[in-house]
Amino acid sequence: MYIELVKYPDVFLRFVSKNVSFPLDDKTTRLIRFMTKAMYQHHGIGLAAIQVGYQLRMFVMDCTRSQESPQVFINPVIVKNSEQSLTDFEGCLSAPGKRGEVKRYLRITLKYQDKEGEEHTKTFYNLEARCIQHEMDHLEGKLCIDYEKGNYSRDRHKSQTMVESDFRTKSDT
Ligand SMILES: [Zn+2]
């Protein structure tokens, strides 16, 4: 089954996601499996719920590329970050063929919940830290292509028409 992603410039990607409540219902549990499948199918290292049409504060990640270590982060909050940051190019499954030059912290500490609702606080470095910051942006309706020379520029795509795709109607059928 081919999983279609919500793509730029769909206005849905600009929505701020909402907190997930616990215990997870069956629909949300299935959604996490669906997100993991979508991430692997599209050869991504991270994917947020908004990218498959759900306005929920959660994302999946697997930076190993072995497709064996998917992690899920629910209601994540960055609680600490390094002084040092690095500017590098990033791509996004929701903006194929485009790149953004984004400044990210080299190290971040993330507080999040797992599928059982258990709270964790963990520190991530380098690629994982960059990926998490990219996914955290999705939860706020931001995209890596909004950045210019490292810095976020809200106006960068202002002139671009935001269209509403028929994604949601399709996904309901
Ligand atoms: Zn993305």
Print the SS3 string covering the chain. Answer: CCCCCCCCCEHHHHCCCECCCCCCCHHHHHHHHHHHHHHHHCCCCEEEHHHHCCCECEEEECCCCCCCCCEEEEEEEEEEECCCEEEEEECCCCCCCCCEEEEEECEEEEEEECCCCCEEEEEEEHHHHHHHHHHHHHHCCCCHHHEECEEECCCCCCCCCCECCCHHHHHHC
Which one is catalytic: 116, 119, 135, 148? 135
pLDDT at res. 164: 54
Q: Is residue 135 among the annotated active site residues?
A: yes
Question: Ligand 1: distance of its center to the CA of 144 in Å?
Answer: 7
Q: How confident is the model at residue 22 (pLDDT cuts 50, 70, 90)?
A: very high
Residue 142 has pLDDT above 90, yes or no: yes
Q: How confident is the model at residue 66 (pLDDT cuts 50, 70, 90)?
A: confident
This prediction has a pTM of 0.91
For 101-123, write each residue's pLDDT tens digit. 999 999 999 999 999 999 999 99
Question: Ligand 1: distance of its center to the CA of 19 in Å?
Answer: 19
pLDDT at res. 158: 59
